Structure 1
Amino acid sequence: MKDGTDYRAILATDTPVIDVRAPIEFTQGAMPAAINLPLMDDEERAAVGTCYKRQGPEAALALGHQLVCGEVREQRINAWREAAQAHPQGYLCCARGGQRSHIAQAWLKEAGIDYPLIAGGYKALRQAAIQATEEEVQKPIILIGGCTGSGKTLLVSARPDGIDLEGLARHRGSSFGRTLRAQLSQASFENHLAVALLKKETPRWVLEDEGRTIGSNHLPACLRERMADSPVAVIEDPFEIRLERLREEYFLRMHHDFSAAYGDETGWQEYADYLHQGLFAIRRRLGLQRFAQFTALLDDALETQRRTGSTEAHFSWLAPLLNEYYDPMYRYQLEKKAEKIVFRGTFEEIAQWLNH
């Protein structure tokens, strides 16, 4: 049976991993290609853990077998069997490659399937991911800067040497940045980043000029340190082009996505709430009077959009929001990196410059 120790190859090739840890452990940190089919659910795991502390390993093992028996045991074996048959090139994995994955492997063998383990379990994969990120970010990095709506993410994500940090974080970075997909735990975000880096063979990285955090996820320290010393190319597109990009992103796409996810009526309410929450998040920085004015303009724009389908009225609050809040804030941050700016140009000019 193959040996599950070539962690980087397992990560880089999206090799399926049947992760038999409890759901709570999986949520706290998992690999992109992992499938959570637990040996024990959260309550069973907690009971076994308590028993282990009070009565020792033998009693805990006996309790585990008592909790996972009969029909429950059969259901879990069937789920593993189906996954193993669907992913014959995969591996079993638990926290440290200990008892849980060995029990799952033994039960699968009884069911007629030989299936290999990840030696060292999730912990070994996690260490490999951390180490891979530390090594990969030593390559030269070029940062793409620019005010909100400059198309930074579009540019980066289209490149063979680009890593879309916001896509990995499932957040677009601003107060309006949340998407319909919940953000991952910090460990899972870091694991997804490591896999994205391992999948591309490139002599350098092109990344968006991000802050320390993207939504609730923060960039690993090793990457943040490298980005702090990296050159910046700044997209300087006309204001009207930026507004059009933001119309597409914030109004057309988000309305479409919410409607597709929740249906027309609830989707509309979710979409309106999303825009209101984005403004509310920065109310103190705007000042409460300006916040109230923008909120009234947003309400009018939503009413117009609902009645006519037109998103034009949103520019009544978005344009001044960019001019008064987002642009000054970004330009202030960029001034602190003035000596690192190596090129300025339109979206197309930056794209051509990167290809030279």
Structure 2
Amino acid sequence: MDLPQIDDYRSLFLNQTPLLDVRAPVEFSQGAFPFAENFPLINDKERETIGIKYKNMGQDEAIKLGHNLVQGDIKEERVNHWQSFFDQYPQGVLYCFRGGMRSKISQQWIYEKTGIIFPRVKGGYKAMRRYLIDELENSVENIQPIMLGGRTGIGKTILLDKLKQQIDLEGLFHHRGSVFGKHVTAQPSQIDIENNLSISLIRHLDNQVSQIVFEDEAPNIGSRRIPEILYNKMQQSPLIQLEATVDERINITFHEYIIEALAEHQQHYGDDAGFEKWSMQLIEAIDKIQRRLGGVRHKQLKSLLTYAIDQQRENNITEFHRDWIKSLLVDYYDPMYDYQFSKKVERVVFKGSHNEVLEFLSDHYHLS
């Protein structure tokens, strides 16, 4: 029986079609798509064993070994996983790496078990990935980025959250964008970030949105990089400078670095272990910028930080964190920002507070 394939990749991504990825877990971890779940036909060890057989004995022997490894209860368990997926997502489709043997076998086994035909993606992961790479380039050519800049702690992400026509790169990259910006869980792979970014751009353009607000970022966010084609266009785009008082910036930074980050750590590790891991991450971040701070400033800043941590641990007082945060913002981040901003000043089209920037975006770009 010739089971159906689907190759309308654009519709798959625009419709957020649930995707059943039957590749091995190691392949899935290297790169996947949003709304994809991994229920492999063969696991990592089986894939390695079959690969050796293929190399030494050829395709037929490798296929035979695969059927021997995945039979009986093992086969039943995996088909049941797939059936559960499609019971939950009857509009879903499945794929493997190239849309060949693995997805075809999976498709056949599901049909034999349920009598229902679920399509597989023609060309598999490789074709969908190629489509998103090509579309990323095409999308960047057809958008007009509007850059939102401003000093560290000024609340650029807070403002972005109030807009529909925006892409939050720090959200996509799962990083707050500074040496203090690590989350508890790791950043997505570079491939995952590129896939998500491309899909976000496709959706905006499909909604006839070409003017998109981005935060003005460095080339790297955490240990991942902004695709060069997008970063280059961002560097040539109009820049809006968000402004706020030092006290407002301290409050925003305090909420991110102290309240939100600690809560995230404690939720992940438990109260005591979470507190210790969070405080160690802050100390490690201070040590990472020791060279730029200089010995004296580093010692002063670390002393303020460790005192604040001790006061919080022993007396549940958090306010001392504001002292080192103020020093960090004013003495460390602001001089760096002033230097970088001096190279962008000719691109600035507006400066103002949160509300003034929102009003400007509405009046001049019709953004909401």
- Describe the superposition over 1:111-163 as per-residue Cα deviations: whole angstroms up to 9, x where unpaired: 02311101110111112212222222221110000011111111123211110
Instruction: Please give the alpha-carbon distance, in whole angstroms, between the structure 1 residues aligned to 2:197 and 2:14.
Output: 11
Instruction: Please give the alpha-carbon distance, in whole angstroms, between the structure 1 residues aligned to 2:135 and 2:281.
Output: 36
How far residue 29 of structure 1 moved from its aligned partner, in angstroms, is 0.4
- Per the alignment, residue 156 of structure 1 pairs with 160
Matches within 5 A, 1:217-228: 217-228=224-235
Query: Is the partner of 1:206 in helix, strand or coil?
Result: strand
Instruction: Please give the alpha-carbon distance, in whole angstroms, between the structure 1 residues aligned to 2:259 and 2:218.
Output: 26
How far residue 41 of structure 1 moved from its aligned partner, in angstroms, is 0.9
Instruction: Please give the alpha-carbon distance, in whole angstroms, between the structure 1 residues aligned to 2:247 and 2:349.
Output: 25
> Which moves more between the two structures, 197-206 or 337-346?
197-206
- Per the alignment, residue 366 of structure 2 pairs with none
Q: For structure 1, which runs of at least 5 residues remain unmatched after alignment?
A: none
- Per the alignment, residue 189 of structure 1 pairs with 193
The answer to whether the Cα contact below 8 Å between 2:149 and 2:242 also exists between their aligned partners in 1 is: yes
- Per the alignment, residue 20 of structure 2 pairs with 18
Query: Is the partner of 2:73 in helix, strand or coil?
Result: helix
- Describe the superposition over 1:229-281 as per-residue Cα deviations: whole angstroms up to 9, x where unpaired: 11110111111100000111110111122122222111111211121122122
> Which moves more between the two structures, 46-55 or 301-310?
301-310
> What is the one-letter code of the residue matched to 1:183?
Q
- Per the alignment, residue 169 of structure 2 pairs with 165
Instruction: Please give the alpha-carbon distance, in whole angstroms, between the structure 2 residues aligned to 1:119 and 1:162.
Output: 32
Instruction: Please give the alpha-carbon distance, in whole angstroms, between the structure 1 residues aligned to 2:295 and 2:267.
Output: 34
Q: Does 1:175 align with 2:182?
A: no
Instruction: Please give the alpha-carbon distance, in whole angstroms, between the structure 2 residues aligned to 1:2 and 1:141.
Output: 40
Q: Does 1:344 align with 2:340?
A: no
The answer to whether the Cα contact below 8 Å between 1:247 and 1:311 also exists between their aligned partners in 2 is: no
Task: Find 1:137's aligned residue among 140, 152, 171.
Answer: 140
Instruction: Please give the alpha-carbon distance, in whole angstroms, between the structure 1 residues aligned to 2:287 and 2:357.
Output: 34
> What is the one-letter code of the residue matched to 1:91?
V
> Which moves more between the two structures, 50-59 or 288-297?
288-297
> What is the one-letter code of the residue matched to 2:33?
M
- Per the alignment, residue 86 of structure 1 pairs with 88
Q: Does 1:32 align with 2:14?
A: no
Length, aligned pairs only: 356
The answer to whether the Cα contact below 8 Å between 1:13 and 1:199 also exists between their aligned partners in 2 is: no
Query: Is the partner of 1:233 in helix, strand or coil?
Result: strand
Tell me how large the CA RMSD over aligned residues is. 1.4
Q: Which 4+ runs in 1 deviate beyond 6 A?
A: none
How far residue 49 of structure 1 moved from its aligned partner, in angstroms, is 1.3
- Per the alignment, residue 204 of structure 1 pairs with 211
The answer to whether the Cα contact below 8 Å between 2:239 and 2:350 also exists between their aligned partners in 1 is: yes
Q: Does 1:267 align with 2:274?
A: yes
The answer to whether the Cα contact below 8 Å between 1:259 and 1:266 also exists between their aligned partners in 2 is: yes
How far residue 325 of structure 1 moved from its aligned partner, in angstroms, is 1.3
> What is the one-letter code of the residue matched to 1:288?
G
Q: For structure 2, which runs of at least 5 residues remain unmatched after alignment?
A: 364-368
Query: Is the partner of 2:125 in helix, strand or coil?
Result: helix
Instruction: Please give the alpha-carbon distance, in whole angstroms, between the structure 1 residues aligned to 2:154 and 2:14.
Output: 31
- Per the alignment, residue 252 of structure 2 pairs with 245
The answer to whether the Cα contact below 8 Å between 2:254 and 2:325 also exists between their aligned partners in 1 is: no
- Per the alignment, residue 278 of structure 1 pairs with 285
- Describe the superposition over 1:175-214 as per-residue Cα deviations: whole angstroms up to 9, x where unpaired: 0011123111100111111222223321311000011111
How far residue 2 of structure 1 moved from its aligned partner, in angstroms, is 6.6
- Describe the superposition over 1:291-343 as per-residue Cα deviations: whole angstroms up to 9, x where unpaired: 22222211110111223433221122111111221111112111111111111
- Per the alignment, residue 103 of structure 2 pairs with 101
Instruction: Please give the alpha-carbon distance, in whole angstroms, between the structure 2 residues aligned to 1:301 and 1:128.
Output: 50
Report the TM-score, using the length of structure 1 for normalisation: 0.97
Report the TM-score, using the length of structure 2 for normalisation: 0.93
Identity %: 41
Instruction: Please give the alpha-carbon distance, in whole angstroms, between the structure 1 residues aligned to 2:35 and 2:302.
Output: 42
The answer to whether the Cα contact below 8 Å between 1:175 and 1:278 also exists between their aligned partners in 2 is: yes
- Per the alignment, residue 146 of structure 1 pairs with 150
Distance change (3 Å), C-alpha of 1:3 and 1:104: closer
Query: Is the partner of 1:168 in helix, strand or coil?
Result: helix
